[in-house]
Structure 1
Amino acid sequence: MTFAVLAVSVASYTLMQSLTVPVLSEIEIVFDTDQNTATWVLTAYLLSASIFTPIMGRLGDTFGKQRMLVISLAALSAGSLVAALAPSIGVLILARIVQGMGGGVLPLAFGIIRDEFPRHKIGGAVSVISSLLAVGFGTGIVLAGPLTSSLGFRWLFWLPFIVTAIAAVVAVLVVPESPVRTPGRISILPALLLSGWLVALLVGLSEAPKWGWGSPRIIGLLVLAAIILAVWIRVETRVATPLIDMKMMRLPGVWTTNLVALLVGVGMYASFGFLPQFNQTPSSSGYGFGSSITESGLMLLPGAVVTFLVGLIAAPVASRIGAKTVVVFGSALGGVGMFLLAAFHDEKWQVIGSNIVTSAGIGLAFACLAGLIVAAVTPEQTGVASGMNANIRTIGGSIGTAVMGSIVTAHFLPDGFPKEIGYTAGFAVLGGALLAAAVAGLAIPTVSPEELEERLEMDPADGPVVRDDELSAART
């Protein structure tokens, strides 16, 4: 029951990232607004989630993961309800900010699994939950079209409201409170500085394709983000109880895994965001298939299914050849899929096949990244470490989307659609990012069984809680 609640929570959070992507034009019409304003329905959610994911993870480490999980689910549910009833675009954007507070479900889920699950089930549970990140994002794009056409776009929020409200109630009843806590008070200044540099960075990246990378506003936002980031790091190293432990972030097993997460995020989010646009482009433009929202989403369905399936087998495979090897192979496989898409996209089966290859690779990488982070830190740091890892994936997605948007929109055809060369070059760049993730994965340290025993939780009753699959992988 605990695992079911965690899976539903993570799936709901991830679905909310992508459900609105294919229907932004519909929202623009319903609320009689412009495209730039409608885009903030997505941007506001990503900004809010980026800020609250590490903060809620840290609060869970301090005040209790079950308690903060319920609060995160309540925020997702409340935000979904307000969004479903929103009378204006402003209220809808505000509701999306509230929904973003639900980003805490991800680090909290990993923390609860590590604290509560039997040692032989931790690796598999982490892999499945991790794979739901990619599965949920792809599934949201698939479901958006059928739900909107049959029930209306507001049901994109009614259904998550119902599901997350039930999950919150069940979490109160069945999810045990984790005994592992990090003592100390939460400092307010680091939280404000974290929010500041994330907002400046993500707004700058998301608006760069529209305003231009050389725009004074974009340059100003990126410089501001760099300044606040530097101040934030300095403050975190000086406060008595840091929000994010900088010593932890410098651990080889943490920073290397975060670098891979950044690069994998570049490839995954941007490919999911632009493939529907490619599919929906009229074939009269010389490429594309003129697909409807529903049809273009269904073309991504096989990839979403493959992502989930490889997530189920990732833990057993990692126990044999090592999680690091799986991450490197998965990232490289994803890069091959993107290069295939860049070279061959004249037929639907080519796009579907390339997406399956890419999804399989990303699914393998995602399923093992969280496990590597969990193994690299102490139990008290699980929430904040996995929260920052998820946050870095989102930042990577923002970078990839901004770069892809700039490349695709660099040249237009007379009919107003981007030229094919833009998509070809963009997909090739994403393939390069995934191959770079594979190279970065080689730097992830190989963890010995002795080091794992020191890092993973010591249970007073049972002794060291060390996963069998991790020990096997380390020995390999």
Structure 2
Amino acid sequence: MSERARSVHPGMTLGLLAVVCVSYVLQQTLVVPALPTIQRDLGTTTAWATWVFTGFLLTSAVATPLLGKLGDTYGKKRLLMVAMAIFAVGTVASALAGSIAMLIAARALQGAAGAIFPLAFGIVRDELPAHRVGMGLGLLSATFGVGGGAGLVLSGVILEHLHWSWLFWIGAAPIVVALVLVWRMLPESPIRTPSRVDWQGALALSVGLCALLVALSEGESWGWLSGATLGLFAAAALALCGWVAVELRVDEPMVDIGMMRDRAVLWTNIVAFIVGFAMFGVFLLVPTFVQMGAGLPPEVAALVPYGMAASVIVAGLYLLPSSAVMLVVGPTAGVLEGRVGARALTLAGSVVLGAGGLLLAVAHDSGAQIVAGNALVGMGVGLVYAMLAKLIVDAVPPSATGVAMGMNTVMRTIGGVVGGQVGAALLSAFTIPGTGGIPQERAFTMTFLVAGAAALLAAAATLRIPPRGSEAAAAGRVALTAEPGRG
């Protein structure tokens, strides 16, 4: 079995992992356009319907570093199959859900499979030839944007012709097929880090991330200065401080704090947070912007002098150019990395992403302008996401790839939640009188400006990452490798 698995062509390995990653990202975004329909069909409130999306992100952030660590300990293929099985069960359960409580629980189960990405990145590092690792990481990173954009388009098509449960039935098929193929064909990584599970650290980190993400997700509706919001932020701070204390005390921590403090890892995670913020600030607003004016009574539409009055399907199509650009840019960046360097490409991607956000802020009167700005955003995100994975891989020993990539994914998720909430807050703060809360054009302009500026801040943060081969970077890698049992 193992010999047959190891004879699998690297292209087949990469193709299987790409299918798995796309399937996961599709389920993350497919439900976004469907939330009003789900709310109506299940007879629930907007707040509870929003948890169909929030619950997914929450469990993803909590489970990703834990499963990534278990992958380093017990085998990345084994834990990838566990994550895929959890994802498949959650997807089928979502399709069968007959109440909002059941659907939220099923979506939370889906999100718990978020470690699919860091585990897939680890398998690429362990199994692909060295000269193909950069390209492989770039391709898998590109699926973040490709799956996200395609999910919004596919969702509109499905909702127009089928019941919303088909969002999940259609999504279950590729993950089940991929699970069987992964079991039969992929080799198990020979790189392991034997260790005990740090349940104290896992619990403290989970509580901290849960409190933080719930506060960020609900702060807009509860009020940012409400007792509940401030209480959750305080609980998050206490739990995360407790987590650091636990990790510094135990012999075999879930996450080595020394690794997280390493300059290359620290600044790469900061860049991941900022770019997640900037990307969601654009991607979640572009479909909303182009739909402005659609379905409104004539007297209200006359008060909304912007937007394209696009349908849900057409709004999703505005994101396809950026997704297509990502699909090309990600693997290409991986090929170029050996000659240019991951740090330089991350810097270039952050600048391009910033230019895309700023272009959308000043030029959004026509479809061509929207597509051009969004294409720049896609190019920037494709470059940065592809290189974030490579920067982490270069900065940590192979035995810590899963947990390190898991924490980087968490930082990107938290950044995306913050970016989405900042955009929502700006849209709520500036509305057109007499329209029932429709945002003013300047609310979108300000959000695009903030996203563009954030991306340029990410470019500045990238300069703090040590160049590969520098004395500082080499010293960090030696220090990490010299700590057996800490991962």
- In the alignment, the residues of structure 2 paired with residue 264 and residue 253 of structure 1 have an alpha-carbon distance, to the nearest angstrom, of 16
**Offset at 1:452?**
6.7
**Offset at 1:323?**
0.9
Q: Among 295, 298, 301, which residue is 2:314 paired with? A: 295
Local SS of the residue matching 2:430 = coil
**Offset at 1:328?**
0.6
**Offset at 1:455?**
4.9
Q: Which moved more, 1:145-154 or 1:250-259?
A: 145-154
Q: Does 1:409 align with 2:467?
A: no
Q: Among 421, 444, 448, which residue is 1:423 paired with? A: 444
Q: Among 273, 276, 284, which residue is 1:265 paired with? A: 276
* 8 A contact 2:396–2:404 mirrored in 1: yes
Unaligned runs of 5+ in 2: 1-11, 294-300, 479-487
User: What is the identity, as a one-letter code, of the residue corresponding to 2:401?
Assistant: T
Alignment of 1:55-454 (within 5 A): 55-282=66-293, 284=302, 285-413=304-432, 414-416=434-436, 417-448=438-469
- In the alignment, the residues of structure 1 paired with residue 267 and residue 94 of structure 2 have an alpha-carbon distance, to the nearest angstrom, of 38
How many residue pairs get matched?
Answer: 456
* 8 A contact 2:137–2:331 mirrored in 1: no
**Offset at 1:316?**
2.3
The equivalent residue for 2:30 is: 19
**Offset at 1:308?**
1.0
- In the alignment, the residues of structure 2 paired with residue 402 and residue 27 of structure 1 have an alpha-carbon distance, to the nearest angstrom, of 21
User: What is the identity, as a one-letter code, of the residue corresponding to 1:86?
Assistant: A
**Offset at 1:85?**
1.0
- Give me the CA root mean square deviation: 1.5
Local SS of the residue matching 1:102 = coil
Q: Deviations over 1:286-307 (max 9, x none)?
A: 1112211101001111111011
- In the alignment, the residues of structure 1 paired with residue 165 and residue 182 of structure 2 have an alpha-carbon distance, to the nearest angstrom, of 26
* 8 A contact 2:291–2:309 mirrored in 1: yes
Q: What is the TM-score normalised by the length of structure 1?
A: 0.93
Q: Deviations over 1:434-462 (max 9, x none)?
A: 11001100111012189679959xxxxxx
Residue identity (%): 43
* 8 A contact 2:264–2:466 mirrored in 1: yes
Q: What is the TM-score normalised by the length of structure 2?
A: 0.91
Q: Deviations over 1:155-214 (max 9, x none)?
A: 211122111111111111011111111111101111111110101111111112212222
- In the alignment, the residues of structure 2 paired with residue 186 and residue 358 of structure 1 have an alpha-carbon distance, to the nearest angstrom, of 40
- In the alignment, the residues of structure 2 paired with residue 271 and residue 140 of structure 1 have an alpha-carbon distance, to the nearest angstrom, of 16
- In the alignment, the residues of structure 2 paired with residue 454 and residue 21 of structure 1 have an alpha-carbon distance, to the nearest angstrom, of 41
Moved over 6 A (4+): 449-454
* 8 A contact 1:18–1:137 mirrored in 2: yes
- In the alignment, the residues of structure 1 paired with residue 129 and residue 470 of structure 2 have an alpha-carbon distance, to the nearest angstrom, of 18
Q: Does 1:40 align with 2:51?
A: yes
**Offset at 1:75?**
0.9
- In the alignment, the residues of structure 1 paired with residue 75 and residue 348 of structure 2 have an alpha-carbon distance, to the nearest angstrom, of 36
User: What is the identity, as a one-letter code, of the residue corresponding to 1:222?
Assistant: F
